[in-house]
Amino acid sequence: MGEVNIVKLHGIGANPYSKRVEPALRIKGIPYEFIEEDLSNKSQLLLKSNPVYKKIPVLVHNEQPVVDSLIILEYIDETWKNAPQLLPDDPLERAKVRFWTSFIQQQLFEAMTRVVTCDGEIQAKAIDEVQGKMKVLEEGMKEVFPGSGSPSIDGDNLGLLDIMICSTFSPYKAYEEALGVKILDPERNPLVFCWVKALNELPLVKELYPPHDKLVALLKVVRENALRVSSST
Amino acid sequence: MEQVQLLGMWLSPYSYRVIWALQLKGIAYEYIEEDLSNKSPLLLQCNPVHKKIPVLIHSGKPICESSVILEYIEEIWPQNSLLPCDPYERAIARFWIKFADDKGPIVWKICGTRGEERQKVIEESLEMLKTIEEHGLGDKKFFGGDKISMVDIAFGGLAYWPGVIEKVLGRNLLEAHKFPRLHAWTKNFKEVPEIKENLPDFGRLLKRQT
């Protein structure tokens, strides 16, 4: 080997998109420097690395920037080919992982964002949407993990879907407390619930996520800010 | 012999993405036109989650979502590759494919809107096109260099839709002096034989919008 690999991750500690990249770097044993960005005062490096969207996370590998959390994850998998692999080898299985990753991002995550940032009828509709999509996800995951009740979680062998599920649902208790909304229900979504519980037991996940009280406080702040902005426009 | 089927719809640029990829790789396939007002049992069975086209069916297994299908095609049939080998170049390509997915569709909204809303949509579309012009294209023949790639395919709808929209609006949208690179790209893209032979009929598209 003997290659020099300087890896910097521009992100925000509690941000779920940043939280997708860090587990991948850690489980592959890739040393990196985390640079906390202030979105009200974006660094020159961030603006230069992501001129189109000016968003985090940005992975800078030997001064080359890679943007968008899901694109970063595929880049990590293709550049550091050591185990664990984030995507399976088989093209059909890879297509399934990409399909469900896209579903979680576009259908679920965005509806969940509306649950946090909206109120009244818009929030009520978003909650219905999330619950409907959770049902679809539950059915879909039964196909991806046929047979037993839930996927077996190995902290050293997490894949892309584990990372997506974790970054989206890990703080489910905080959502419940901050918003009074049940996103993940053990009776309605038994497979995903067990999966998230198992992920939350991993030392890596406990290390990466702020404690429950801090997450609740953070969600409340995000919600207050969003509601204030929308009521003043 | 492997069986490849494509469930598609002539109006959809996402459907054409898959056609172009299969054609460029020389893959034989059966094309099945879907009536989206009366979706076939096959479509509903193959894509129960979204019930949308395109769907690629390979040896009986369905693959849904055009971007997912394109990556699958590239992995199964690596000849005439549509993605670069280098992981960093691939990340750049995927960035622009995602941009096409996320931001591209604004253009299709122009014809369906009126008045102030239409003006807003036109302005957003021009912003999107400006971003591609300034950051995406450079001075190369195609997005990735001298050879056509998955990024060009992802943006392929922009090679023919603006012409239809301009006829409907009665004015220029993609002016040559403001978008010289996009103009050059459109010409290069449409000259590739597999693309030239597989474009929707302009008259038929126009009739649908008016």
Residues of B in contact with A79 (CB under 8 A): 87-88
User: What pLDDT sits at residue A161?
Assistant: 94
Q: Is the pLDDT of residue A217 over 80?
A: yes
Q: What are the residues whose beta carbons fall under 8 Å from the beta carbon of B58, sequence distance 6 or more?
A: A92, B2, B3, B4, B72, B76
Domain boundaries, chain B: 4-76, 87-198
Compute CA distances A3 → A6, A31, A62, A80, whole Å.
10, 13, 10, 12
Distance CA(A97)–CA(A95), nearest Å, equals 5
For chain A, give the number of residues: 233
User: What pLDDT sits at residue A230?
Assistant: 78
Compute CA distances A129 → A125, A166, A183, B24, whole Å.
6, 20, 11, 39
Q: Is the pLDDT of residue A152 over 50?
A: yes
- Which residues make beta-bridge pairs with A176? none
Cβ distance B71 to A98 less than 8 Å, yes or no, reads: yes
Phi, psi of A67, deg, nearest 5: -120, 165
- For residue B166, the tally of other CB atoms under 10 A from its CB is 15
Q: Is the pLDDT of residue B75 over 60?
A: yes
- pLDDT tens-place string over residues A107-140: 999 999 999 999 999 999 999 999 999 999 999 9
Q: Is the pLDDT of residue B209 over 90?
A: no
Work out the average pLDDT over B61-68.
Answer: 97
Work out the average pLDDT over B31-37.
Answer: 96
Q: Considering only the top CATH level, what class is B4-76? A: alpha beta
User: What pLDDT sits at residue B210?
Assistant: 73
Work out the average pLDDT over A179-203.
Answer: 93
Q: Which of B72, B90, B99 has its CB closest to that of A95? A: B72
User: What pLDDT sits at residue A71?
Assistant: 97
- pLDDT tens-place string over residues B15-30: 999 999 999 999 999 9
Query: Which has the minimum average pLDDT: A71-85, A147-161, B188-202?
Result: A147-161
User: What pLDDT sits at residue A2?
Assistant: 52
Strands (E), chain A: 7-11, 33-36, 58-61, 64-67
Q: What is the rounded average pLDDT for all residues in chain B?
A: 95
Q: Is the pLDDT of residue A222 over 70?
A: yes
Q: Which residue of B has its CA nearest to A99?
A: B68
Query: Which has the minimum average pLDDT: A57-71, A86-100, A149-163, B61-75?
Result: A149-163
Buried b / exposed e along B122-160 (16+ C-beta atoms within 10 A): beebbebbeebbeebbeeebbbbeeebbbbbbbbbbbbb
Q: Is A63 on the interface with B (CB under 8 A)?
A: no
Distance CA(A113)–CA(A231), nearest Å, equals 17
pTM of the predicted structure, to 2 decimals: 0.94
Which fold would CATH assign to domain B87-198? Glutathione S-transferase Yfyf (Class Pi); Chain A, domain 2 (1.20.1050)
Taking only Cα atoms into account, the Rg of chain A, rounded to an integer number of angstroms, comes to 18
Distance CA(B55)–CA(B15), nearest Å, equals 8
Residues of B in contact with A67 (CB under 8 A): 95
- CB contact residues (below 8 A), chain A span 97-126, against chain B: 98-99, 102-103
pLDDT higher for A209 or B57? B57
DSSP state of B137: -
Work out the average pLDDT over A182-202.
Answer: 93
Compute CA distances A59 → A24, A29, A86, B132, whole Å.
12, 15, 17, 22
User: What pLDDT sits at residue A83?
Assistant: 85
3-state secondary structure of B100: helix
Cβ distance B63 to A95 less than 8 Å, yes or no, reads: yes
Q: Which residue of B has its CA nearest to A69?
A: B95
User: For chain B, how far is it from start to end, CA to CA, in angstroms?
Assistant: 44
| Substitution target from A99, A101, A160 for chain B, most B beta carbons within 10 A | A99
Residues of A in contact with B98 (CB under 8 A): 68, 71
User: What pLDDT sits at residue A148?
Assistant: 56
Q: Is B77 on the interface with A (CB under 8 A)?
A: no
Q: Is the pLDDT of residue A233 over 60?
A: no
Percent of chain A with pLDDT over 90: 73
Cβ distance A91 to B72 less than 8 Å, yes or no, reads: yes
- pLDDT tens-place string over residues B82-98: 999 999 999 999 999 99
Burial class of residue A54, CB neighbours in 10 A (0-12, 13-18, 19+) = middle
Q: Is the pLDDT of residue A200 over 70?
A: yes
* Nearest alpha-carbon partner for A35 in A49, A5, A56: A56
- Which residues make beta-bridge pairs with A35? A10
Q: Work out the pLDDT band at B36, boundaries 50, 70, 90.
A: very high
| Substitution target from A21, A90, A98, A141 for chain B, most B beta carbons within 10 A | A98
User: What pLDDT sits at residue B118?
Assistant: 93
Distance CA(B136)–CA(B129), nearest Å, equals 10
Work out the average pLDDT over A83-102.
Answer: 95
Q: Which of A64, A67, A78 has its CB closest to that of B95? A: A67
| Half-sphere CA count of B18, side-chain side, radius 13 A | 30
pLDDT higher for B36 or A230? B36
- Which residues make beta-bridge pairs with A34? A9
Handedness of CA A165, A168, A171, A174 (dihedral sign): negative
Burial class of residue A74, CB neighbours in 10 A (0-12, 13-18, 19+) = buried
Cβ distance B63 to A79 less than 8 Å, yes or no, reads: no
Cβ distance A95 to B49 less than 8 Å, yes or no, reads: no
Cβ distance B98 to A74 less than 8 Å, yes or no, reads: no
Cβ distance B64 to A99 less than 8 Å, yes or no, reads: yes
Q: Work out the pLDDT band at A1, boundaries 50, 70, 90.
A: very low
User: What pLDDT sits at residue A157?
Assistant: 84
Structure tokens at A136: 């679809």
Burial class of residue A161, CB neighbours in 10 A (0-12, 13-18, 19+) = buried
- pLDDT tens-place string over residues A13-61: 878 899 999 999 999 999 999 999 998 898 998 888 888 888 999 999 9
Residue B27 Cα to chain centre, angstroms: 18
Structure tokens at B129: 């096109």
| Half-sphere CA count of B108, side-chain side, radius 13 A | 14
